[in-house]
Amino acid sequence: MMAITDYRLLVVLGPTASGKTRLGVGLARALGGEVISADSRQVYRGMDIGTGKDREEYGEIPCHLIDIADPGYEFSVFEFQRRFLDVWAEVRGRGRLPVLVGGTGLYLDAVLRGYRLVAVPANGPLRAELAALVPEELQERLCRANPRLHNTTDLLDRERLVRAIEIAEYEAEHPPEPLPALAPLVFGIRWERSELRRRITERLKARLAGGMIEEVERLHAAGVPWATLDYFGLEYRFVASYLRGELNRNDLFQKLNSAIHDFAKRQETWFRRMERHGVPIHWLDGAAEPLTAALALLGRTGARAGR
C-alpha cells in the first residue's frame, strides 16, 4: 500500500491495447485534469489510426504532446522531456492536474526517474583535437571526463567514443538545471495474457477496416519516404511493405499481429524494469473497473493533488 502523499502528477501506463487512454481520460475528468501523451509516435501529424490516437475518447479533456511534429522530424527523448516539463508546469499553472498517459517506456522512464538530459552541440575544435588521438588515448580521456561511465560500448567504437567525450566534457562545464519535484503517482493496467492478445487482434482488425492502409498511402503520397515509414515500425513498416507488394493481405495481418503481440511483451518487460529501478506502479485489473479501482485507491490512501 502506498503512503499518503500529495501528488503533482498522475501517470497511467500499460501495454498496447490495455485501455490506457480511457483510464487516463476518466481520471482527468474525475479529478479536474488534462492528459499529456507519452507516446513516441503520436507526436507526429497524420499518423492517427496506426498510432491509436483515439481522439473520440477525449471529449472535452485537453490532450497535449499529440500532433506537434511532422513525420520525418527526429523527435528525441530529450525533446520529449523538455516539452513535457513545459506542459506539466502550464497545466498546474491553470490549477489543473497533469495526467501522463502512454506506453513508450523510455519517455515514461525519462520523466519518472528524472533523466538529466542536456542538449550537447557538436564541438568542431574538440573533434579536430580528438582526431589525432589513438583509441587508447580516447578511452583514457573519456574515463577522466566521466569516471562513473557505465556504458562500456562507448569504448568500442571511435565515433561513439568521440561523441561520449564531447558530451561528458560539455556537461562538466554546463551542468543540467535541477528538475522540478513531480511527486508522481503511477497506475498500470494489467490483463490476463490471452485476453490482451485477443484485444490486440480485434483492435488491429478494426484499424485495418477503418482506413489504416489508406492512412499510410496518404503519408507516402504526401512525401514521407518508405524508409521513414519503415523507421516508425509496426503498423507503418508492415503496411508499407504491403503497399510495395512485398506482402499479401493475409501475411500483412498475420505478421503485423504477431509483431504487436511481441511489442506488448517488450513493454511489460520495460515496466518491470522500471519497478526494479524504484518506480512504484499500482497495478489495476483491466478486466474489472480500473477507473473505479484507481479512484478508490486514491480515496483509501488519502492521496491528494499537491499544489
- Bridge-based pairing of strands 9-13 and 63-64 is unpaired
Handedness of CA 172, 174, 179, 180 (dihedral sign): positive
Burial class (CB in 10 A: 0-12, 13-18, 19+), 45: middle
Q: CA-based angle 287:292:298, to the nearest 5?
A: 125
- Report whether 17 belongs to an annotated binding site: yes
Question: Does 16 show up as a binding residue in the annotation?
Answer: yes
Q: How far is CA 250 from the centre of its chain?
A: 30
Residue 20 counted as an annotated binding residue: yes
- Residue in this structure with the C-alpha cell 557505465, named with its chain if needed: 150
Looking at residue 294, its amino acid is: A
258 assigned binding-site residue: no
| 72 marked ligand binding residue | no
**Greatest Cα-to-Cα distance within the chain, rounded to the nearest angstrom:** 64
Which H or E run includes 136? helix 135-145
Report the length, in residues, of the chain. 307
292 is in an annotated binding site: no
Contact at 8 Å (CB) between 127 and 167?
no
- Strand-pairing partners, residue 284, are 189
Phi, psi of 96 (to 5 degrees): -105, 165
Is 240 within 8 Å of 230 (Cβ atoms)? yes
Residues contributing to the annotated binding site for substrate: 16-21
Residues contributing to the annotated binding site: 14-21
Residues contributing to the annotated binding site for ATP: 14-21
